Structure 1
């Protein structure tokens, strides 16, 4: 599941302005791992979501600035989007394991 979400995030990274879809995808993957383990806690989920939103907004904002550089910016944006999704997926998997 992490690999599929990482590939989708990397593909969305090529599209300018599609980064608003990434944060809900990251929250869904965290919710999925929390729900599968049976340890879902709303307060912890909201706190994680707020921290995730702050970090993702900074990284995705930086990647959007790079989008103005043709081709290099799009590749950088895709790498950032995919790596953030990969990190979030593995962090959630380890936390709820």
Structure 2
């Protein structure tokens, strides 16, 4: 795809997240930023899901912060649910 829009980038991030490739999802996110395409609220659901499926708690916290502070995207129920999922999985690993 020569010209990717937000939907295309978000789809790639979400598929990587679903399969537990969290670091790769963030690589795609960085490419997205580099090309000047702005993420939306769904992009951040994908990133938070990637963190939950990959055990990337610190990246998840960073992502939640960036979403609000840099991109001015207000947290919705599904963002909070992703954070709870991520933190609960991390808690289970510690047990």
TM-score, reference length from structure 1: 0.35
The structure that is helix-richer by fraction is: 1
TM-score, reference length from structure 2: 0.35
- Which has the higher relative contact order, 1 or 2, with Cα contacts under 8 A spaced 6 or more apart? 1
State which structure, 1 or 2, has the greater radius of gyration over its C-alpha atoms: 1
